[in-house]
Amino acid sequence: GDSVTQMEGPVTLSEEAFLTINCTYTATGYPSLFWYVQYPGEGLQLLLKATKADDKGSNKGFEATYRKETTSFHLEKGSVQVSDSAVYFCALRGKTGFQKLVFGTGTRLLVSP
Amino acid sequence: EAQVTQNPRYLITVTGKKLTVTCSQNMNHEYMSWYRQDPGLGLRQIYYSMNVEVTDKGDVPEGYKVSRKEKRNFPLILESPSPNQTSLYFCATIGQAGSQYFGPGTRLLVL
């Protein structure tokens, strides 16, 4: 079945450092891909998405490119802030499963001043 | 404001005592679902509903029930909770564009 693999955390960075969180997927066909962010004590918020190969999703300085050839959707940010500290989830929606997102295990990001 | 609300936000209970977690949305979305979040496992879908009176099992439905009598509400029922149902629960809806909206979560501890 469909699955998502994320790098384990926590990822610890200093403010203004470059961020990469790796995400790869296994799915039949061409799924839609998402990054969600969960701040402490809150629910999940959609950060960005891409629905077809080579699409780039972007929001709040974060970017991720849908790479079909490597089945990846890595999250990047050029300069992180303390306020970016959160848990980040990569997820996919398969073409036959509109009603369900398949999530990775989440990666905790800790940014220090 | 578009939102998904859940109640209660925190709950401590004992094994076998029936409980219900409510979920309500004001976006008139047809699709609703429940997830549980556990460390190292991410989020896993428990049940989903594609419309009123239409529900189906997700990946981890054992020990849970749901109902969808009205479009806006989708309660999660634990008839006889057990400690392995201690978790963080999220209700979510799906809009027409396919984006999911999550509630704030309900943290459940079963003793």
Compute the average pLDDT of residues A6-32: 93
Question: Confidence band (pLDDT; 50, 70, 90) for A97?
Answer: low
Question: Confidence band (pLDDT; 50, 70, 90) for A65?
Answer: very high
SS3 letters for chain A? CCEEEECCCCEEEECCCCEEECEEEECCCCCEEEEEEECCCCCEEEEEEECCCCCEEEECCEEEECECCCCECCEEECCCCHHHCEEEEEEEECCCCCCCCEECCCEEEEEEC
Compute the average pLDDT of residues B2-26: 96
- CB contact under 8 Å between B105 and A43, yes or no, is yes
Question: Confidence band (pLDDT; 50, 70, 90) for B48?
Answer: very high
Measured distance CA(A111)–CA(A100) in Å, rounded: 31
Question: Confidence band (pLDDT; 50, 70, 90) for B64?
Answer: very high
- CB contact under 8 Å between A101 and B45, yes or no, is yes
Residues of A in contact with B45 (CB under 8 A): 100-101
Measured distance CA(B89)–CA(B47) in Å, rounded: 12
Listed in sequence order, the residues at least 6 apart from A16 whose beta carbon sits closer than 8 Å to its beta carbon are A79, A80, A81
Residues of A in contact with B50 (CB under 8 A): 99
Q: Using beta carbons and an 8 Å cutoff, which residues of B are at the interface with A?
A: 4, 31, 33, 40-45, 48, 50, 58-59, 90, 94, 98-100, 102-105
Listed in sequence order, the residues at least 6 apart from B39 whose beta carbon sits closer than 8 Å to its beta carbon are none
- CB contact under 8 Å between B50 and A99, yes or no, is yes
Residue A95 has pLDDT above 90, yes or no: no
Measured distance CA(B67)–CA(B76) in Å, rounded: 7
Tens digits of residue pLDDT in A83-92: 999 999 999 9
Tokens coding A14: 């200093």
Residue A96 has pLDDT above 70, yes or no: no
- CB contact under 8 Å between A32 and B98, yes or no, is yes
Please tell me which residue, B109 or A96, carries the higher pLDDT value: B109
Measured distance CA(B109)–CA(A50) in Å, rounded: 36
